């Protein structure tokens, strides 16, 4: 007999724990009369020790099948209601000791793990879960810890399927243990622990929230997804040009998924394009920089808006999964803008020769009729290196609005666009190469080269770009 069985026997059958047992109406042979007499023929409470004594008497008195059946029945009592401590040892401790990630990691990239809620002893675990409001003693099946375990994403493909199996195992283990633990008077009455001994996440709430996958997706949408038009034509799955490239290079060129940002992010997270140890050396940056030979040529230069967005997201992701944020102050500070990529093109022609191949940024400001002036915050912006030889520059606009503003909501639901109107275009040129030295640098007054009023309906499409003659720029 192994240790676990032994403890069940000593604590269960030979213990004095009270156990509910409904009366049996089955015919159990010549023992039936005694049985009815014992239980009164209806649901009643028997103690296991009295049950065992009775079983023993029966087996002396009737050395035959019926008595054996009673012994089996007595054992069933302990099988149905084993001691909480044994369930804890058998079901919860293995989760605590397992090197595998819990199902929580499907949504919490760091800061939260089911293991953080478990202590090596049953009592300490139960009490601190209770103190944190995670156990419903009267209705253990409604406990909040079960609700946390039961959180799941709609998508159940791939890795999510493995997590689903883990989740079901965790749920079954906690449900079984909580049921017996919540009924255990010894656990119900034990005093609360000192606050420092409470299990649960160590990281502050701000970090736990930041490390959630839905937050990562929000940031992905605002950064990488908003800049996808810089890569669209070639990389969006199912487009005509992507189909052609796919025949030559394989499925890997279709990394922008036609089903949207979530599928694209999931693909990238599972791909070899992100280097979490050295995010700045991720292929997702080195390819468009053409530092690793890129079929699409140079699509980023260090410090441009596309690079900043991709690099910012990659750095943050790497910090998050390594659990390297220690306090709320170390988290990145968002600029409070929501960004929307478009296929609206703008072109500047007749550029002065001295701008060479520098990075040029154009900001578009809307007219604010209430204040009778141009908005200070641009409604759209874009940047790219000048094509010095052709003395021109062109690119797609990224629109932006304060997060959760009415404007951002409209763009989110109906798609981003600019109404036909007059706008002010302000132009900056990084002739000093400031961005190459500091990828986070922003162009400002010292890079300013002039402004021009533009009237446009901003149609989408490469063939319909808004063209502005740089001769019209005024300081």
User: Could you list the residues that contact ligand HEC (CB under 6 A)?
Assistant: 102-104, 106-108, 112, 114, 148-149, 151-153, 201, 205, 208-209, 212, 214, 230-231, 233-235, 245, 249, 252-253, 255, 273, 283-284, 287-288, 294-296, 299-300, 306
Closest to ligand HEC by CB, 78 or 103: 103
Contact 255, 267 (CB under 8 A): yes
Closest to ligand HEC by CB, 149 or 399: 149
* CB-closest chain residue to ligand HEC: 296
Residue 417 CB, shortest distance to ligand HEC, in Å, is 22
Residue 386 to residue 348: CA distance in whole angstroms: 9
Q: What proportions of the chain, in percent to the nearest 5, are helix, strand and coil?
A: 45, 15, 35
Residue 354 CB, shortest distance to ligand HEC, in Å, is 27
Q: What are the φ/ψ torsions at residue 337 (nearest 5 degrees)?
A: -110, 145
Residue 251 CB, shortest distance to ligand HEC, in Å, is 9
Angle, helices 48-61 vs 65-80, to 10°: value is 170
Q: What are the φ/ψ torsions at residue 9 (nearest 5 degrees)?
A: -65, -45
Closest to ligand HEC by CB, 96 or 255: 255
Closest to ligand HEC by CB, 19 or 239: 239
Residue 466 to residue 457: CA distance in whole angstroms: 9
Strand, helix or coil at 212? strand
Helices (H), 9-131: 32-39, 48-61, 65-80, 84-87, 93-97, 122-131
Residue 58 CB, shortest distance to ligand HEC, in Å, is 47
Contact 130, 136 (CB under 8 A): no
Closest to ligand HEC by CB, 298 or 422: 298
Residue 341 to residue 306: CA distance in whole angstroms: 11
Closest to ligand HEC by CB, 357 or 446: 357
Residue 179 CB, shortest distance to ligand HEC, in Å, is 18
Residue 396 CB, shortest distance to ligand HEC, in Å, is 11
């Amino acid at each position: 007999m192994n240790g676990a069985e032994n403890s069940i026997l000593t604590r269960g059958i030979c213990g004095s724990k009270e156990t509910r047992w409904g009366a049996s109406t089955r015919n159990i042979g010549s023992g039936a009369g005694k049985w009815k007499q014992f239980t009164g023929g209806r649901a009643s409470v028997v103690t296991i020790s009295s049950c065992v004594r009775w079983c023993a008497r029966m087996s002396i008195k009737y050395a035959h099948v019926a008595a054996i059946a009673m012994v089996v029945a007595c054992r069933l009592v302990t099988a149905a209601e084993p001691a909480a401590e044994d369930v804890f040892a058998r079901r919860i401790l293995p989760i605590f000791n397992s090197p595998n990630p819990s199902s929580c990691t499907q949504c919490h990239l760091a800061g939260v793990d089911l293991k953080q809620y478990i202590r090596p002893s049953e009592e300490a675990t139960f009490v601190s879960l209770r103190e944190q409001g995670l156990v419903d003693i009267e209705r253990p099946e409604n406990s909040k810890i079960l609700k946390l375990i039961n959180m799941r994403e709609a998508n159940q493909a791939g890795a999510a399927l493995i997590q689903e199996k883990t989740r079901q195992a965790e749920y079954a283990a906690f449900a079984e243990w909580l049921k017996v633990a919540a009924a255990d008077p010894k656990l119900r009455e034990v005093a609360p622990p000192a606050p420092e001994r409470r299990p649960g996440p160590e990281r502050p709430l701000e970090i736990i929230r930041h490390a959630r996958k839905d937050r990562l997706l929000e940031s992905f949408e605002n950064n990488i997804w908003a800049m996808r038009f810089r890569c669209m034509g070639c990389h969006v799955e199912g487009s005509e040009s992507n189909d052609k490239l796919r025949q030559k290079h394989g499925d890997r060129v279709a990394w922008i998924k036609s089903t949207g940002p979530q599928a694209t992010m999931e693909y990238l997270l599972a791909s070899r394009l992100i280097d979490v140890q050295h995010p700045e050396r991720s292929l997702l940056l080195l390819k468009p920089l053409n530092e690793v030979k890129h079929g699409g040529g140079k699509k980023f230069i260090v410090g441009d808006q596309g690079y900043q967005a991709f690099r910012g997201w990659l750095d943050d992701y790497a910090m998050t999964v390594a659990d390297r944020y220690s306090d709320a102050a170390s988290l990145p500070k968002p600029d409070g803008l929501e960004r929307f990529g478009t296929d609206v093109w703008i072109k500047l022609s007749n550029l002065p020769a001295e701008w060479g191949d520098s990075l040029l940024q154009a900001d578009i400001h809307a007219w604010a009729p209430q204040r009778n002036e141009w908005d200070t915050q641009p409604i759209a912006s874009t940047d790219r290196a000048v094509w010095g030889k052709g003395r021109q520059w062109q690119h797609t606009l990224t629109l932006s609005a304060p997060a959760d503003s009415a404007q951002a909501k409209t763009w989110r639901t109906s798609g981003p666009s600019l109404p036909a109107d007059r706008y002010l275009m302000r132009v900056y040129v990084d002739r000093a190469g400031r961005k190459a030295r500091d990828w986070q640098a922003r162009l400002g007054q010292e890079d300013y080269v002039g402004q021009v009023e533009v009237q446009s309906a901003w149609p989408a499409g490469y063939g319909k770009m808004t063209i502005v003659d740089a001769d019209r720029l005024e300081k």
